[in-house]
Amino acid sequence: MKTLPAVLLALSVLLVTSRSSPEERVCSVDDVLALMDRAPATEFGKAPHKWSRVGQANRIARAISRAAKTTEQAADLVIYDLYESANTVSAIGDHGKSHGPWQISEDRAAPAVAHDPDKAAPIWLELADKSRSDCADLPDDEQLAEVASGSCKAGRTLARRRAALRRRILAAAMQ
């Protein structure tokens, strides 16, 4: 009988430590906020901007930390959030048809879902995967054209510019 409490204690410790295990998250919330702070104020800017102090940065960073399976995914989520919504959970664009930090269109997710970073980040990652598949014939830096601007053809330049920004903030993270 004494072994049952010990087994239960061991299982509960295992459960608690497995939930908070560092292997689960590629980037911590602080890592994501640091990626934000390496991005310039505009897509054409040079100097880093304190994005971690803008809008709902902490809430969005938490969602990115939970959703991203790689540092590159986290950086893509950061770049597209910053230049689509400037860390604004309630952002509305495209004449009222796109919503949330990643400007997900209404035909992809209901506005209430798109405005919730915890729900929207995984959806954006799925859309990014679809874009990479649909635009597979394009150079790697242009394969997010569909999420950047709606089609593989229309979003090539924007996707290329944002890929360069992603590389820039990742390179700065390595220094």
Q: What is the pLDDT at residue 172? A: 86
Taking residues 132-161, what's their average pLDDT?
Answer: 97
pLDDT score of 11 more than 50: no
pLDDT digits (tens, 9 = 90+) for 30-86: 999 999 999 999 999 999 999 999 999 999 999 999 999 999 999 999 999 999 999
3-state SS, residue 99: strand
Report the distance separating Cα 76 and Cα 100, nearest Å. Answer: 16
* Whether this model's pTM surpasses 0.75: yes
Report the distance separating Cα 128 and Cα 102, nearest Å. Answer: 11
Q: What is the pLDDT at residue 3? A: 52
The Cα-based distances of 12 to 5, 15, 24 in angstroms read 10, 5, 18
pLDDT score of 9 more than 70: no
Taking residues 139-146, what's their average pLDDT?
Answer: 98
pLDDT confidence tier of residue 2, bands split at 50, 70 and 90: low
Q: Which of 118, 30, 148, 124 is nearest to 73 (CA)?
A: 124
Angle at alpha carbon of residue 166, lines to 161 and 168, rounded to 5°? 95
pLDDT score of 110 more than 70: yes
For the chain, domains (ranges, CATH) are 23-174 (1.10.530)
Kindly report which listed range (11-25, 110-124, 143-157, 159-173) carries the lowest average pLDDT score. Answer: 11-25
Indicate the DSSP class of residue 105: E
pLDDT digits (tens, 9 = 90+) for 59-74: 999 999 999 999 999 9
